[in-house]
């Protein structure tokens, strides 16, 4: 069964450093997302991406964050200057828009980001 893959599974970085989290969505999907979960909190939406542009973003997704689909297969999340509070599990997801009943998200297994 096709799956969403994320790399790396763990990333440790120093505060202020840039990180890029990588995802390969399911190949025929058209919508792509990033969500995150800070330990002990809810899974929260960051951004959705369709047709090579951001379709929606949350208030968390400020100027420090950016997304890119550089080559038609990868989908990346960049955090320009990491803060301690960016430490979280970051999930990539993709979906194939169709009937509303079919619009489930397929998630990757996540990248655990630790900012020291």
Binding site for other proteins (CB under 8 A): 3-4, 31, 33, 35, 42-45, 48, 50, 55-56, 58, 91, 95, 97, 100-110
Cβ 58 vs Cβ 69: under 8 Å:
no
CB of 33 or CB of 82, closer to other proteins: 33
CB of 49 or CB of 82, closer to other proteins: 49
Distance of closest approach, residue 15 Cβ to other proteins, in angstroms: 27
CA-based R_g, the chain, Å: 14
Distance of closest approach, residue 88 Cβ to other proteins, in angstroms: 13
Token couple for 71: 């080559």
CB of 76 or CB of 112, closer to other proteins: 112
Cβ 57 vs Cβ 47: under 8 Å:
yes
DSSP state letter for 71: S
Distance of closest approach, residue 78 Cβ to other proteins, in angstroms: 20
- Torsion angle of the four alpha carbons 102, 103, 109, 115, in this order, in degrees rounded to the nearest 10: -170
């Amino acid at each position: 069964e096709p799956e969403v893959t994320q790399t790396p599974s763990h990333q440790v970085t120093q505060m202020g450093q840039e990180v890029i989290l990588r995802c390969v969505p399911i190949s025929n999907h058209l919508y792509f997302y990033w969500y995150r979960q800070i330990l002990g909190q809810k899974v929260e939406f960051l951004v959705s991406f369709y047709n090579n542009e951001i379709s929606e973003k949350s208030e968390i997704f400020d100027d420090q964050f950016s997304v890119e689909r550089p080559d038609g297969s990868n989908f990346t999340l960049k955090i320009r200057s990491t803060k301690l509070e960016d430490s979280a599990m970051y999930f990539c997801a993709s979906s194939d828009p169709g009937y509303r009943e079919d619009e489930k998200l397929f998630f990757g297994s996540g990248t655990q980001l630790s900012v020291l």
